[in-house]
């Protein structure tokens, strides 16, 4: 039985265990700073399929299977899959999971999907509704480019503030039993719209949402950055990272060196031509599974705040002159010893 | 603390109360059989906005506010909003809820969204994570036509098996306390793909998913149609209704007159030119709030099975020759006396 400990935060009574996880990445991501961390790196951007959308779907399926394998869990033992993605009508997750025969909850949180899925999954486990849940999401550079921006062949020049959609996926198996770090608290974001209309500057649009959720989390839990070994945002990129840093500094928070953004960790911005950094559902999902959780397993970090950020816009809303509503969902992951 | 009572079904320990609800409909829906049942009927299909997408969003906002009013609840007292819609990147719900300052979970279940949102919302309440949750969704004929099919001005001829996307919205406030019927059981669907590729025959694509979920529900609960006063599917339309009926009859189920489809209830198919019937997230959501719950309040039905159906495809997946994966989520609603 969970407990609300603040306006946006719940504490889990018997914190679910993260008992297995996997990360799959594309070629470019596999050449970046985390190249030795992914479970699988695909040389073929099509993942053996005939379209970018099917490739993305195949990647999610591979990642899901790897996570089940690593958790030593046959997929049929899962009580729920919570999944979602960036494609219109979330087809990459639906098609990826259509032959699993596992009860399925589709989510849409844009690039915040991993934290949303972990939040819902953890509450289903802690609430007594499930023994085992898989949270899984991903994104693909090529399907995102053609849906949100231009055909790849057009070769459009990218704005300096633009981000590079990560080809990658992450999956985590939550369970009531098992070994691994625990998900202990959940701070669910409210939608924040700071009035940014530039679809090439998602970091600026999402930073205020990240700021709001971090502030809410610290207020609800009576904690600060000092209580964490590391704090991660999802995919603000360098531009959004710096905006968040100055927003929080203005509020008197001392972030020190503990704050990192997954969109900055996944690429080498000096050499990989990704401008402000990585983005997409697969960005923080794959960094979580490839980098953060393994580091926790090794004991490098004991308590981590994982705050995934999402821009809840569409090309249609942008074309209609609308600003970009954003959201940030945060979860606390910790190991006991 | 909930309890799993079968592979796909959970029973709620302290079943959340449906303490308020509202339904908003468009002009055509307001001329149909349920014309006296909606809380509000919009004469202006634009809802005072400048685009179909903004109109849909405005409709959701109106419906959300009406439900809060009817539940005598200031929106700020909500712990979560669970919402979603059919538009790319679910913009109508995100934009509708962006000024609520309520923690927000975006879902994507296509036309099954109302049952998905009620399922998640009820588990959040029963699990001790929330006191009050709003489940809200809707759809708009004009935004759906242009996204999924043709520009309205094109005036395309519709296939006899095609359905008419409902302009309508439904919102339900779930609470731990209060008066009203209770949500007692949840059967979460698995994705079912029967190989149907005709995007003009969603009923045929979704009927096998409805069949699978109803069978799972009856197996998990050891119940049958006889245990319910009424059983509703979401938006199979007349074609899907008949397919589901024969699928279940082949399995030996006696459905009697208890089975109805929301897509057939919302329009007069003889006179309103909707072919197979209504569809869209707003179809079963508005029928639930306008027709089913008020009838339960009056004591006409005491125990209802509400099984919303969704087709998890996109125009892109259809163009790539993919079949239509579908899902059906069911919830049991009952009053005690």
Residues A38-63: pLDDT tens digits? Answer: 999 999 999 999 999 999 999 999 99
Cα(A118)–Cα(A131) distance, integer angstroms: 14
Closest C-alpha to B241, from B268, B274, B206, B271: B206
* Tokens representing residue B94 in the block: 């995100």
Q: Does B312 touch chain A (CB under 8 A)?
A: yes
Which contiguous run of DSSP H or E holds residue A283? Answer: helix A281-287
B14-43 pLDDT tens trace: 999 999 999 999 999 999 999 999 999 999
- Partners of residue B100 in chain A, C-beta under 8 Å: 190-191
The low-confidence residues of chain B, meaning pLDDT below 70, are none
Q: Does B2 touch chain A (CB under 8 A)?
A: yes
A157-161 — which CB contacts under 8 Å span 24+ positions? A158/A200, A158/A275, A159/A198, A159/A200, A159/A201, A159/A275, A160/A275, A160/A276, A161/A198, A161/A200, A161/A201, A161/A203, A161/A204, A161/A237, A161/A239, A161/A275, A161/A276
Cα(B208)–Cα(B328) distance, integer angstroms: 9
Q: What pLDDT was estimated at residue A263?
A: 98
Closest C-alpha to B105, from A175, A327, A322, A80: A327
Q: At what angle do helices B113-126 and A113-126 cross, to 10 degrees?
A: 50
Cα(B336)–Cα(B171) distance, integer angstroms: 22
- Residue range(s) of every CATH 3.40.47.40 domain in chain B: 3-175, 182-334
A76-132 pLDDT tens trace: 999 999 999 999 999 999 999 999 999 999 999 999 999 999 999 999 999 999 999
8 A C-beta contact, residue A81 and residue A136: yes
* Tokens representing residue A183 in the block: 């998900």
CB contact under 8 A, B1 and A109: no
Closest C-alpha to A29, from A156, A166, A228, A154: A166
For residue B30, give how far its alpha carbon lies from the nearest alpha carbon of chain A (Å): 28
Q: What pLDDT was estimated at residue B20?
A: 97
8 A C-beta contact, residue A137 and residue A118: no
Q: What pLDDT was estimated at residue B155?
A: 84
Q: Report the 10 Å Cβ neighbour count for A90.
A: 28
- Partners of residue A94 in chain B, C-beta under 8 Å: 191, 312, 325
Q: What pLDDT was estimated at residue A267?
A: 98
> What is the chain A residue with the closest CA to B324?
A95
Cα(B92)–Cα(B95) distance, integer angstroms: 5
In this prediction, residues A149-174 reach a mean pLDDT of 93
Q: A231 forms bridges with which residues in the sheet?
A: A259, A305
- Partners of residue A78 in chain B, C-beta under 8 Å: none
For residue A226, give how far its alpha carbon lies from the nearest alpha carbon of chain B (Å): 25
| Range 42-61 of B in CB contact (< 8 A) with A | 50-51, 53-54
Residues 6+ apart with CB under 8 A from B257: none
8 A C-beta contact, residue A303 and residue A331: no
Q: Assess: ipTM above 0.95.
A: yes
Residues 6+ apart with CB under 8 A from B17: B174, B175, B176, B177, B178, B179, B180, B181, B182
The CATH class that applies to domain B182-334 reads alpha beta
Q: For all residues of chain A together, what is the average pLDDT?
A: 96
8 A C-beta contact, residue A71 and residue A173: yes
- Residue range(s) of every CATH 3.40.47.40 domain in chain A: 17-175, 182-334
Rounded to the nearest 10°, the torsion over CA B30, B34, B40, B43 is: 0
A264-287 pLDDT tens trace: 999 999 999 999 999 999 999 999
> What is the chain A residue with the closest CA to B121?
A120
Cα(B159)–Cα(B129) distance, integer angstroms: 46
* Tokens representing residue A98 in the block: 């259509």
How many cross-chain Cβ pairs, A to B, lie less than 8 Å apart? Answer: 189
- Partners of residue B192 in chain A, C-beta under 8 Å: 98
CB contact under 8 A, B123 and A126: no
Q: What pLDDT was estimated at residue B157?
A: 87
| Range 87-116 of A in CB contact (< 8 A) with B | 87-91, 94-95, 97-110, 116
Closest C-alpha to B232, from B333, B108, B84: B333
> What is the chain A residue with the closest CA to B106?
A108
Chosen from B14, B105, B212 to mutate, greatest number of chain A CBs within 10 A: B105
Q: What pLDDT was estimated at residue A327?
A: 98
In this prediction, residues A60-83 reach a mean pLDDT of 98
In this prediction, residue A21 has a pLDDT band, given cuts at 50, 70 and 90, of very high
Return the DSSP state at B192. B
Q: Which CATH architecture has domain A17-175?
A: 3-Layer(aba) Sandwich (3.40)
Q: Does B14 touch chain A (CB under 8 A)?
A: no
For residue A188, give how far its alpha carbon lies from the nearest alpha carbon of chain B (Å): 5
Phi, psi of A86 (to 5 degrees): -90, -15
8 A C-beta contact, residue B331 and residue B118: yes
Q: For all residues of chain B together, what is the average pLDDT?
A: 96
3-state secondary structure of A92: helix
CB contact under 8 A, B104 and A322: no
Q: What pLDDT was estimated at residue A1?
A: 72
Q: What pLDDT was estimated at residue B150?
A: 87
In this prediction, residues A292-302 reach a mean pLDDT of 97
For residue B10, give how far its alpha carbon lies from the nearest alpha carbon of chain A (Å): 6
List the single residue in B190, B317, B327 with the smallest CB-CB distance to A91: B317
Q: Does B119 touch chain A (CB under 8 A)?
A: yes
Rounded to the nearest 10°, the torsion over CA B177, B179, B180, B185 is: 30
A222-258 pLDDT tens trace: 999 999 999 999 999 999 999 999 999 999 998 888 9
Length of chain B: 337
- Partners of residue B13 in chain A, C-beta under 8 Å: 128
Q: Does B8 touch chain A (CB under 8 A)?
A: yes
For residue A70, give how far its alpha carbon lies from the nearest alpha carbon of chain B (Å): 23
CB contact under 8 A, A88 and B1: no
Q: Which CATH architecture has domain B3-175?
A: 3-Layer(aba) Sandwich (3.40)
B251-284 pLDDT tens trace: 999 888 899 999 999 999 999 999 999 999 999 9
């Amino acid at each position: 039985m969970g407990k609300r400990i603040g306006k946006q935060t719940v504490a889990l009574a018997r914190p679910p265990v993260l008992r297995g996880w996997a990360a799959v990445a594309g070629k470019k991501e596999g050449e970046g700073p985390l190249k030795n961390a992914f479970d699988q790196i695909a040389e073929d951007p099509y993942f053996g399929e005939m379209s970018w959308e099917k490739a993305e779907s195949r990647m999610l399926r591979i990642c899901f299977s790897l996570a089940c394998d690593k958790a030593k869990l046959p997929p049929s033992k899962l009580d729920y899959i919570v999944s979602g993605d960036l494609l219109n009508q979330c087809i990459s997750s639906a098609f990826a999971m259509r032959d699993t025969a596992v009860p399925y909850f589709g989510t849409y949180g844009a690039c915040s999907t991993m934290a949303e899925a972990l939040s819902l999954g953890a509450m289903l486990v802690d609430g007594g509704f499930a023994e085992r849940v898989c949270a899984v999401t991903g994104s693909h550079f090529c399907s995102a480019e053609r849906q949100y921006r231009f055909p790849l062949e057009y070769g459009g020049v990218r704005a300096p503030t633009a981000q590079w959609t990560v080809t990658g996926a992450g999956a985590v198996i939550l369970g009531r039993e098992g070994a691994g770090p625990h998900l202990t608290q959940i701070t669910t974001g409210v939608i924040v719209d700071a009035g940014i209309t530039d679809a090439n500057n998602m970091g600026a649009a999402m930073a205020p949402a990240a700021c709001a959720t971090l502030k809410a989390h610290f207020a609800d839990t009576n904690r600060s950055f000092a209580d964490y070994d590391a704090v991660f945002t999802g995919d603000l990129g360098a531009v959004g990272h710096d905006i968040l840093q100055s927003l929080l500094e203005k509020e008197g928070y001392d972030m020190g060196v503990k704050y990192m953004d997954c969109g900055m960790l996944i690429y080498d911005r000096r050499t990989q031509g990704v401008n402000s950094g990585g983005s997409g559902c697969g960005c923080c999902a794959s960094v979580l599974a490839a980098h953060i959780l393994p580091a926790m397993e090794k004991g490098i970090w004991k308590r981590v705040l994982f705050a995934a950020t999402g821009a809840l816009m569409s090309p249609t809303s942008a074309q209609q002159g609308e600003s970009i509503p954003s959201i940030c969902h945060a979860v606390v992951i910790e190991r006991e010893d």
